[in-house]
Amino acid sequence: MSDFFTVSVLVSVFASGIRLATPYLLASLGETIGQRSGVLNLGVDGIMLLAAFGAYYTALKTDNLWLAVLVALLVGLMVGVVYGLITVSLHAAQGISGIGIFLFGLGFSDLLFQVWVGTPLPVPHKLPKLSIPGLGSIPNIGEALFQHNLMTYGAFMLVPAVMFLLQKTTFGMNVRAVGENPQAADSLGVSVGRTRFMAILLGSSAAGLAGAALVLQGGIFQANLTNGLGFIAIAIVYFGAWRPLGAMAGSLLYGMVNATVVQLKVQGTIPRSASDLASMAPAVITILALVFLAGRVKAPAALTKPFARH
């Protein structure tokens, strides 16, 4: 265990935890916006898979990573349009609609992969690391915090941006209003449908970016690449009490615990006999945190409730 508390190991764990947290953060930030407007999107994982494949295929064929990110964003946006039509325009139940989107994403991304790619091939280039001038060269701290790829920096910069959006803009105020009391917002002239639709589009686009981050960090796609990551992102939204900073804390917790468990396994501190138990640690800690927070935080009052003007 003493080997763990060395500077080099701690730096490695922090850097690993931040990398692992990036897709969770992007997806949970987007889902936070959606849920604050009263829309639960259980299809995050499916959107991520579709966007991840879009980014992967684009990167594989063009070797243009930023075009790949753009494609992922657009894929997320398109699926968001479909989900918005289903849940906002058609007033369908959000839970089952989200599951439908997930299943569609799971199956269709695999189908496209099988038809267009087949055997897994790595993309020519992954997202490159960018050392932030002046900060990246700080001993240890620089390596842990300031030597990541642009999508990681972007994800963390989105946290204050989403905070500003939700707290300081008219749109954000409308989002919160339609998530708490859509009837009252409607009576004050706020278009509930349009606001929720926009929130869904933002959330789906962020899920698309999460898919891009996942696939372009790893450099390869395979069936069910997300491995349930999108559902964990939804749990992180609850963990974070529907706040961007909370989503960041939850994503970092999940990433850091995972990175710590990996490191302890590599060093042999966690014996192989306890390996499977240790692998459950991130999920167990998240569940415990959710239990601890239950009753202490309040979900948006109109979450999962379709709105129809009577």
Partner 1 sequence: MKANTRTWYRLVALLLSFGLVAAACGGSDSAGSDASDGGTDETTDAGDDSSGGGETLTMAIVAPSAKNDLAFTQSMVDAINALDRDVDLQITDGTFVVEDAAAAIRGYAEDGVQVIVAHGTQYGGSLAEIAPDFPDTTFIWGTASDTQGLDNVFAYFPAADEGGYVNGILAAGLSESGKIGVVGPIEAGDAVAYIAGFQSGAEANGAEVSVVYTGSFGDVALAAETATAHIANGSDVLTGTAQMVVGAVGVANDAGVPWFGTQANQTSLAPDIVVASQVYHWEVVLEEMLTLRDGGTKGGQAFEIDLANGGLVIEFNDKFELSDELKAEADAAIAGIIDGSISTGA
Residue 115 CB, nearest approach to partner 1 (Å): 10
- What is the Cα–Cα distance from 225 to 131, expressed in whole angstroms? 28
Site residues for partner 1, 243-262, by CB under 8 A, read 258-259, 262
Length, in residues, of the chain: 310
The reply to whether 207 sits near partner 1 by the rule CB under 8 A is no
Q: Which of 64, 142, 219, 285 binds partner 1 (CB under 8 A)?
A: 219
Cβ-contact 289, 239 below 8 angstroms? yes
Residue 300 CB, nearest approach to partner 1 (Å): 25
The letter for the amino acid at 49 is L
| Residue 149 β-bridge partners | 129
Nearer to partner 1, 196 or 243 (CB): 196
Site residues for partner 1, 7-36, by CB under 8 A, read 8-9, 12, 16, 19-20, 23
- Both structure tokens of 190: 């706020």
Residue 276 CB, nearest approach to partner 1 (Å): 6
The letter for the amino acid at 277 is L
Between helix 150-168 and helix 170-180 the angle, nearest 10°, is 70
Residue with tokens 């999940």, as numbered in its chain: 254
Residue 110 CB, nearest approach to partner 1 (Å): 4
CA dihedral 106, 111, 117, 123 (to 10 degrees): -10
DSSP letter, residue 131? E
Residue 119 CB, nearest approach to partner 1 (Å): 4
> Segment contacting partner 1 (CB under 8 A): 101-109, 192-200, 204-212, 289-297?
101-109
Q: Which of 66, 104, 153, 171 binds partner 1 (CB under 8 A)?
A: 104
The letter for the amino acid at 53 is F
| Residue 297 β-bridge partners | 294
Nearer to partner 1, 123 or 248 (CB): 123
Q: Helix, strand or coil for residue 17?
A: helix
> Segment contacting partner 1 (CB under 8 A): 165-173, 174-182, 184-192, 275-283?
275-283
* 129-131/147-149 β-pairing: antiparallel
Q: Which of 66, 67, 70, 108 binds partner 1 (CB under 8 A)?
A: 108
The reply to whether 126 sits near partner 1 by the rule CB under 8 A is yes
The reply to whether 107 sits near partner 1 by the rule CB under 8 A is yes
- b/e for 49-77, b at 16 or more Cβ within 10 A? bbbbbbbbbbbbeeeebeebbbbbbebbb
The reply to whether 71 sits near partner 1 by the rule CB under 8 A is no
- What is the Cα–Cα distance from 168 to 1, expressed in whole angstroms? 46
Q: Which of 10, 85, 241, 290 binds partner 1 (CB under 8 A)?
A: 85
Q: Which residues contact partner 1 by CB under 8 A?
A: 8-9, 12, 16, 19-20, 23, 82, 85-86, 89-90, 100, 103-104, 106-111, 113-114, 118-122, 126, 214, 217-220, 222-225, 227, 229, 258-259, 262-263, 265-268, 272, 275-276, 278-280
